[in-house]
Structure 1
C-alpha cells in the first residue's frame, strides 16, 4: 500500500485549496530532481491514480501554497496522460510560494492544483524562433519539442547568467537549432539580430524576465512583426485601480443582481463581496485564472493575456484588473 504525505501549510493552505473550487486536482509528487542551481523539477501524478486532464504546449497550472495560488508552466510531455511536470525556481525574495514548494514538496507528498490553462496560444508552424530567459524555458521547451516532432525548422535561444545554469539542458541540446547562451560571459542575447533574421511567416515565442520580454516586444513592433510574437510573463506592472477611474455598473446575469463597482475597488473584489466565486491568483492580469464571460458592454482590458484581436471581440474579461469603459454597463455570465 502506497502512503502519501500532505505537505504542511495550515489554515492558509487549506483556504487556497478551497479557492480552486471544483477544478482542484490532488497530486502526488512522484519524483523530484535538481535541474540547475535553484531550480527543481517535480513529476506529478493524480493521487487516486487516474489520468490527468490533458494540456497543450505552453499551458500552466495553479498550485495551492500557503502564500496563495502560484502559476507553474507544464514542462513535461503532453502525450503522457499519467503525469505532469513543473519546474520551480527558488526565490528567497519572492512572495513565498516557490520557497515553500522547495522546502515541502518531496517524493510522496501531496499538492493541490488547478486544471491546465493555456494563455500562450501555441499553434503549429513550419518554422519558429523561440527565446527563453531563466525559468522562462518551462513553457518554451514543450512548444519547441512539439514543433520539432512535427518537422518545423527551429531557432531557440535560451539565456541564463552562467554556463551550467540552464535547466533541462539535455533536452534543449537534443533540439536542432538550439543555443544555450551565458549572459555573464557573452552579454545580452542579440535580439535585434535574431528578430531581423526571422523569416517571413516564422512564429516567434518569448518567455522570461520582464526586461527580455519588453525588449523583444518593442523590437518586434519596431520591425513590423509584432503580430507574430507571442509572449508570456511571470510578473506584471499593472495598476488594477488607477487615478481617474470611475465607478461603473454590472449585471450578474445568473444571479440577477445589479451592482456598482466603486472607482477605488476592482471588479474582482466587488464580485467577491456579493458572494460570486471567481478563481483568481495573480491579481495582475497575467495568469488567466479569473477569466469571466462578458455578455454585453465594452471593457477596458488591462490584462496581458488577450491579444488585441481578442480584446476587440470583447467576449470575456479578467476582473482582477479590467473594468468597464467610461459610460459602459457590463453584463457578466456569473
Structure 2
C-alpha cells in the first residue's frame, strides 16, 4: 500500500520527446522534464497520471529504465471503447507537446523472492518490463508468459527477444488461450507471481492461485473488478476531521462528490477505484470498500479507503480530510 502524498499529487510539466509505434494500436511516449530538473525517482511497477484536460486524467505504467531520471516512458493502447484518454493520446498529442504528469505512485511493487513468474496480457506488459530489468540486475531467476490477441498487436517484442527462452510469447490467434493450469497448477515455494492485463485474465489467474501460499500473487488492474462497484447505496454521516466539516452523503452521491460539494479539495483521477490517487486515511467507522486497488488484507484493516467509489457500512464515517 502506498499512501498518496503532496509530492505525488503535484503536477510535473513534461515535454513529449518521442512517440514510437510499438505494435498495432500501441504507441510509446518518451517524456522529458521541462527545463533542467530531473524527474522523480520511481521503482518497477509504478504508474503516473497524464493530465490531458480538466476532467481527463489517465494512468499509465512506467515501462522505461528506473535509473534514468532524464525521461519517462509509457505505452498507450488505443482502446476500442476509449473514454477519451487513449484516443486523445493517439489522435491529438504530438512530439514537442507539453503534458502535465502526476506521480509516480506504486501499488505493484516488486517484492524480494527466490524466483518470479510474470504473466502479462496485452498492454499489461508495460509494468512488467522494468521488473524484468530489475531481476536481471539482481541475478534473480524469472520467467515471463506474455499473451495477446495476435502477434502484431503485442508490443515491445524486440526488447523481450533479448531475454531468449525465458520469455514465452503466446498469440491467441495461433496458440489458443494461455494454459494457466500448466503455469499455475503446481505451487512452488519461494515464487512470487506478478500479473497485469485484461480483467478476464486477472480473474482467471487469481482463481488458479487460490492453492498457492497467501501473498504469492500480485495483480494490477486497469479496470474495476467485476461487481466491485455494486452494492446498496444508503445515506451516512461523513466527518472530515482535518477540515472540521460534517456532511451527509446521499445515496445518489459518492463520497468524493459530497466532499467536493462541501468545498474540500480531494485529488481524484480514475473515479472507479483503480488508481489510488484519492487514498484517504480512515479515523473512525467501517468503510464499504468497492475499489479494485487495495489488497484484501488492506481492506480488512480499514486503515485507508478510496472515496471516489467506496461508501460506508457504518452510519458515521470519519476521514482524515
Q: Matches of 1:121 and 1:289 in 2, distance apart?
A: 16
Q: Matches of 2:311 and 2:212 in 1, distance apart?
A: 30
> Who is 1:105 aligned against?
93
C-alpha contact (below 8 Å) 1:267/1:322 kept by paired residues: yes
> Who is 2:75 aligned against?
87
> Who is 1:174 aligned against?
162
> Who is 2:44 aligned against?
57
1:196 deviates by: 2.0
Superposed, 1:56-205 pairs within 5 Å as 56-66=43-53, 68-175=56-163, 177-205=166-194
Q: How many residues align?
A: 312
Q: Matches of 2:21 and 2:242 in 1, distance apart?
A: 47
Q: Matches of 1:219 and 1:62 in 2, distance apart?
A: 31
Q: 1:245 to 1:315 in 2, by over 3 A?
A: same
The answer to whether the aligner puts 1:47 opposite 2:11 as a matched pair is: no
1:241 deviates by: 6.3
Q: Matches of 1:198 and 1:165 in 2, distance apart?
A: 31
> Who is 1:209 aligned against?
198
Q: Matches of 1:120 and 1:140 in 2, distance apart?
A: 10
Q: 1:173 to 1:215 in 2, by over 3 A?
A: same
> Who is 1:302 aligned against?
290
Task: Provide the aligned C-alpha RMSD in A.
Answer: 1.9
Deviates more, 1:212-221 or 1:294-303: 294-303
Q: Matches of 1:288 and 1:254 in 2, distance apart?
A: 20
Q: Matches of 1:103 and 1:119 in 2, distance apart?
A: 30
Q: Matches of 2:8 and 2:209 in 1, distance apart?
A: 39
TM-score, reference length from structure 1: 0.88
TM-score, reference length from structure 2: 0.92
Q: Matches of 2:9 and 2:182 in 1, distance apart?
A: 47
C-alpha contact (below 8 Å) 2:33/2:71 kept by paired residues: yes
User: Which secondary structure state, in structure 1, belongs to the residue aligned with residue 105 of structure 2?
Assistant: coil
The answer to whether the aligner puts 1:38 opposite 2:25 as a matched pair is: yes
Q: Matches of 1:172 and 1:227 in 2, distance apart?
A: 27
1:304 deviates by: 1.4
Superposed, 1:1-12 pairs within 5 Å as none
> Who is 1:11 aligned against?
none
**Deviations 1:115-154 (Å, cap 9, x if unpaired)?**
2111213222220110001100011111122122211111
C-alpha contact (below 8 Å) 1:297/1:331 kept by paired residues: yes
1:313 deviates by: 2.3
